[in-house]
Structure 1
Amino acid sequence: MPGTVGRVPTPSAPVSGAPTASDAAALVLHHPWAQTPLGPPEAWDPALRAVIDLMLGSPVPMALSYGDDLVLVYNDGYAELIGGKHPAAFGRPSAEVFGELWALPGVGDVVGRVYRLGEPFLEKETTLPVSRTGTGTVEQAVFTRGYSAVRDSGGDIVGVLTVAAETTQVTEQLQSLSELASALSGTLTLDDVARVALRSALTSFDADQVGFAVDDGPGWRAVRRVRGELLDEADERLPPLWRRWPADAGTPMTVAAETGRPSFTPDGQPLLATAVDRHDQKVRAVAALPLRTSSLRGALTVAYREAHPWTAAERALLAASAELVAQAAERARRFENQHGTAQLLQRSMLPEHLPDLPRLRVAARYDPGVDGNAAGGDFYDAFLMPDGGLGIVLGDVAGHDVQAAARMGQVRAALRALALSQSQPDAVLTGLDRLVGSLGAEGRTDELFVTVVFGVIEPDRELMTLSSAGHPAPLLRRCSADGDPVAEYLEIPTGPPLGLGGTRTSTSVPFSPGDTLLLYSDGVIERRRQSLAAGLTDLAAAVAGAASGDPRALCAVATAAVAGATEDDVAVLAVEHVLTPSRSASMEVPAEPTAPSRVRHWMSAQLAAWQVPEQVIGAAVLCTSELTTNALLHAGTAARVEIDLSPERLLVSVADSGTRGTVTRAQTDTLSSRGRGLGLIEELSDAWGTDPTVRGSTVWFEMLIPGG
C-alpha cells in the first residue's frame, strides 16, 4: 500500500481482477480531518497510516476508533454493518454515533478497556442488524468481533481496531444440525428418515439435488429430492419414491455406501454415466457421505449444478449430518423389523376378507396405538351364521405384547366356533367366559381380562341381537323422520369382562334399511386428560354428521372423531343395512406402465353402463387413475380396483399387496404424476381414507350421487 493517506488508493482488486471503487476510501480522502482529533492527514503517524490503508483494502468489516473520543474511521464492510448511520458516522466519536447502544455492557466498555489497557479482546458471537446490499432488507447476522490496540511509531496506544467476521452461515448450519437431530428423533421408519434427511440437506446446504440410499438385499434402494420439486402436503404423506440400484451401479452414492469412504467432486460430470434424467446430467459437483452402522449401509449425497469447492467446514458438517442420519436409519430399520413382525402377527389373526352380502355392507379398520412396535389384543370379526344371519364381534384382550395377540387369536377362534354351534349371543359369551377363565388358570394369572360385544344380524327380519361383556356400548346411526341422520348408543346390559364369571344377557334391537351399526374399542374414545363422556359425545357427533352411512367411510370417521393421540390400539367394525342392493365390479391391475390408462377406460365404460352422472364419472375416473398410479409407484406390485355403486354414493378402492420400490425406472418415468396426489382426492371426493391390510394397504374414496 502507498505510504501516505493523501494518495489513498482504491482497495485491492477482487478475484476477477477488475478494480472496485471504495466509498470509504473516498471519505478518507475528502474528510476534513484537521477539524478532528486525528488532525490533517499529512501529519498522521506512519503506523496509523498503515493501519488505515490495511483497513480500507480489506473486504472484512473493520473500524478504527481513534483517540480519547474514539473517533470512527471504517471501511465499506463496516459501513454495511452500521447501515443508516453511514456516512454521518465517519469522523465522529463512537459514543455519539451509537448513542444508548454504546452504554450497554459489552459494547463501549469493551472498546474503552482495550484502549486503556492495550489487552486484545475476542467477542466470539454477537447478533447485529445488517442492511444487505442490493436487496434493501435488514437481516439479523451473526458476527465474531476482535478488538486490538493500535499503537503509533512510539509504541503509545492511539486507538482500537475492531475486526468483525460474519459467521452467520456457520451459525445457521450448526443450527440446522441441531434441528436435524431433533427432527430425526421423531422418525420411526426409513421413509420418515428419508423425508427428514433430504429436506434438511436441501435447505441446510442450499443444494440443487440431494439423495439418500440404504442397502436392500444385494443392492440398494435410493430416493432423492431436487430443488424446486413441488411437494404438497398430500405428497408428503405418501411413501418416498424409491429407486432400486444394483450392487455394482457405480454411482458416487453407491460407491460411498459400498466402501464406507466419502468422496467430494468439486467439478465435472460425476453422474453422467449413470444419469436417470436431465437433473443428474446437469450435476457438476457432488459430495457422497457413507452411512455406516452395525446393521446398515447407505449414503447421503449433496449435489450442485455449478462447480463447488468443498470447504473443510462443509465437509465436517456433512460428516456430522451423515452420522446423525445413519443412527436414525438404523433405529428405523430395527423398528420396522420389530413393528412388521408384531403387526404381521396381529393382522394374521384378523380376517383378511369380510363377508360380501346383498343387503349388508361390512367394513372394519385396525390401527396400532402410539407404540406400534408391539402387538395388541384388539380384534374384530364378521362371518355368516348357519341360519343365514351375520355374526359380528369386536373385542379387546388386555395387554400389548405377543402374548396378548396370541390370546386374542385364541379368543377370536373360540368365539367363532361357539357361534357356529350356538346362535344366541349370551350363550356364546357364557361359553367364552369359561374358556378365558381356563386360559387364565393355565397361565397362572389373574390379569387376563377380555371385553367383547357379540351380535347376530338378521337382515330379513330387520333385527339384530347383541350381548356385551364389559365393552363400550354399540353406536347406531339411523335416518330420522326429517331425513337428518342421528346417532345413538344402544342400551345393552353390560356384564363383567370375560374371565370373571357373571350373567350374560342378550338384547334385540330393530335394524332397518338405512341403519349402520358401529362397534369400536376403547382406544377410539379414550384420551388423556379428557373424560370418557366427552369422547363418547365426539364420536356420536362425528358419526351423525358423516356424509353417508357407508361402513368404510364411518370407520375412517370414527377413528378420527376424538381429537388427540391415543396410546391404545383402535379397532372399529361397521355394518350397514342398505336401502337398495349395490352393484359392484373389480379389476386386477398389473404393474405395467399402461395400467392407469386401462383402468380409466374400464371404469369409464362401467360407470357409463350403470348410468352414473357424467360429472361423477369424470371426477371418479381421475381420482382412481391417481390412486392406481400411486399404488404402482409405491407398492410395486399388482393392484386391485373395486367399485361399488348404490343409489346414494359411489365407493372406489385401490388395494396393493406388496412393498414399495420394485417398479422399474422406465415404469416410474411413465407413471409419475405425483404432483396432484391425494390432494386431488381430498378436493373431489366427499370422503376418503387409507386402510392397512394383512398384505399391503387400501386407499378408498366416496362420492355422493346427486339426487341419490
Structure 2
Amino acid sequence: MGGRRRHARPASADDLLSQLGRLTARVREEIEVQRARVELAEALQRGMLPSTLPTAPGLRVAARYAPARSGLDIGGDWYDGFRLSDGTLAFSVGDVQGHDVEAAAYMGQVRIVLRAVAAMGAADPGEILRTTNDLLVATDNPLFATCLFLRFDPRTWTVRTSRAGHTGAVWARADGMCGVIEHAEEEIGLPLAVMAGEAYPVTEYRFTQPGALALLTDGVVEGPRFPLEEGLAAVARVLRDGVAEEPETLADRVMEVAECTGHSDDAAVLVLSHDGPEACQTAGAAPGIV
C-alpha cells in the first residue's frame, strides 16, 4: 500500500508575522550597525578639524563643515589653519576620495603631514604640497586627496596658493569685483598620493583693498542641479554682496549655496575677510591683485 504524500502545512498568520518580525529585527540591527559606523566617522572627522583658526590684524577667519546628506555616507573633506614659525599664516581645504571611516581617517593623516611639512620650514605652498605628496605616495595607501594650500603674509599682504587637483578659491573686493583665482591648466598639480615627483606651481597675488576670499570643497559648488562653474559664480556673488559682513555670516551664506546644488557629498568652506592695507595702494603689487 503506497504511502500517502504529505503536503507542507500552509503557513499561518502567526507564522508569517513571526518571520516578518525576525526579518525586521535583522534589518534594524544592520541599520543600527551602519548608523553607528557613520556616527563614528562623523565624530572622527569633526574631532580632527581644528577648534581654532589663526587671525592677524585686519584678517578675520571663519569655517563651516556639513556632513554628507545621503544618510549613510561620510566624506573626507577638511579645512585647516595654523601659524607658521616665520609669522605667516597657512590655510588649506581638501577632499579625500571615498565616503567611509577610512576616508575620514585618511583626511586626518593628510592634515597631519601637511602641518608637519610646513613646520619643518617649507614656506612655499608648492614645496609643501610636493613633499606631502611624496610622503603620502610612500605610504602605499590606495586613497588620494585634492587640496588647495594658501600662505598669507600679514606684513606684505601677499598671498601664495598652490593646488593639487582642487577647486580654485573664490574672491570678492569692496569695489564690486569678484571671481575665481585662476590657475592655468598646467599650473594645477595632480591630487596628492597619485604619483611621486609631481610639481605644484604657485600663484601669487596681493590684497589691495577690503574683500573676502573663500576656500571650499566641491560639495559646496557642484551637484546634480549645479554645474561647477555655476556654483562658483553663486559663491562669488555671495561674497560680493556681503563683502562688508563678518566672515561667520559669509561662511553661513556660502554654505547655503550647497543647499541649492542638490549635492550628497560633504562640504567645507573657509572664509578669509580682509582689510586692504593703505601701504598696498602705492607699493608695487604682485600679479593677480585681488
TM-score range, shorter chain: 0.7 to 0.9
Question: Aligned AA for 2:152?
Answer: I
State the Cα distance separating 1:521 from its structure 2 match.
0.3
SS at match of 1:567: coil
Matched, 1:417 2:116: yes
Matched, 1:388 2:87: yes
SS at match of 2:155: helix
Residue from 169, 174, 191 that aligns with 1:474: 169
Structure 2 counterpart of 1:495:
189
State how far apart, in whole Å, the 2-side matches of 1:417 and 1:574 are: 23
Residue from 9, 30, 42 that aligns with 1:343: 42
SS at match of 2:116: helix
Q: Is the 8 A contact 2:174 2:244 kept in 1?
A: no
Q: Please show how residues 352-501 of structure 1 align to structure 2 within 5 Å.
A: 352-420=51-119, 421-439=121-139, 441=140, 443=141, 445=142, 448-480=143-175, 485-492=176-183, 493-499=187-193, 500-501=195-196
State the Cα distance separating 1:513 from its structure 2 match.
4.7
Q: Is the 8 A contact 1:397 1:404 kept in 2?
A: yes
State how far apart, in whole Å, the 2-side matches of 1:496 and 1:405 are: 21
Cα pair distance change 1:463/1:356, threshold 3 Å: closer
Structure 2 counterpart of 1:679:
none
SS at match of 2:257: coil
Q: Is the 8 A contact 1:425 1:467 kept in 2?
A: yes
State how far apart, in whole Å, the 2-side matches of 1:525 and 1:339 are: 24
State the Cα distance separating 1:331 from its structure 2 match.
9.0
State the Cα distance separating 1:336 from its structure 2 match.
5.7
Q: Is the 8 A contact 1:462 1:513 kept in 2?
A: no
SS at match of 2:177: strand
Q: Please show how residues 275-314 of structure 1 align to structure 2 within 5 Å.
A: none
Unaligned runs of 5+ in 2: 1-20, 278-290
State the Cα distance separating 1:476 from its structure 2 match.
1.2
Cα pair distance change 1:399/1:346, threshold 3 Å: same
Cα pair distance change 1:506/1:370, threshold 3 Å: same
Q: TM-score, normalised by structure 1?
A: 0.33
Q: How many pairs were matched up? A: 249
Specify which structure has the bigger relative contact order, considering alpha-carbon pairs within 8 angstroms and separated by 6 or more residues: 2
Unaligned runs of 5+ in 1: 1-292, 295-322, 581-708
Q: Is the 8 A contact 2:64 2:268 kept in 1?
A: yes
State the Cα distance separating 1:477 from its structure 2 match.
1.6
Q: Is the 8 A contact 1:369 1:568 kept in 2?
A: yes
Cα pair distance change 1:573/1:452, threshold 3 Å: same
Q: Please show how residues 53-452 of structure 1 align to structure 2 within 5 Å.
A: 337-420=36-119, 421-439=121-139, 441=140, 443=141, 445=142, 448-452=143-147
Q: Is the 8 A contact 2:172 2:243 kept in 1?
A: no
Which whole-Å deviations, capped at 9, do the CAs of 1:98-139 have from their partners, x for residues lacking one? xxxxxxxxxxxxxxxxxxxxxxxxxxxxxxxxxxxxxxxxxx
Question: Aligned AA for 2:177?
Answer: V
Matched, 1:539 2:239: no
Q: Please show how residues 605-624 of structure 1 align to structure 2 within 5 Å.
A: none
SS at match of 1:464: strand
Structure 1 counterpart of 2:248:
552
State how far apart, in whole Å, the 2-side matches of 1:513 and 1:576 are: 11
Which whole-Å deviations, capped at 9, do the CAs of 1:567-611 have from their partners, x for residues lacking one? 11101111122469xxxxxxxxxxxxxxxxxxxxxxxxxxxxxxx
Cα pair distance change 1:468/1:569, threshold 3 Å: same
State how far apart, in whole Å, the 1-side matches of 2:269 and 2:78 are: 9
Question: Aligned AA for 1:506?
Answer: V
Which whole-Å deviations, capped at 9, do the CAs of 1:488-509 have from their partners, x for residues lacking one? 1112332221223432111111
SS at match of 1:512: coil
Cα pair distance change 1:517/1:471, threshold 3 Å: same
Q: TM-score, normalised by structure 2?
A: 0.77
SS at match of 2:50: coil
Structure 2 counterpart of 1:523:
219
Question: Aligned AA for 1:491?
Answer: E
Cα pair distance change 1:336/1:404, threshold 3 Å: closer
Structure 1 counterpart of 2:8:
none
Residue from 266, 271, 275 that aligns with 1:574: 271
Which whole-Å deviations, capped at 9, do the CAs of 1:255-289 have from their partners, x for residues lacking one? xxxxxxxxxxxxxxxxxxxxxxxxxxxxxxxxxxx
Q: Is the 8 A contact 1:515 1:549 kept in 2?
A: no
State the Cα distance separating 1:372 from its structure 2 match.
4.4
Cα pair distance change 1:343/1:509, threshold 3 Å: same
Cα pair distance change 1:330/1:550, threshold 3 Å: farther
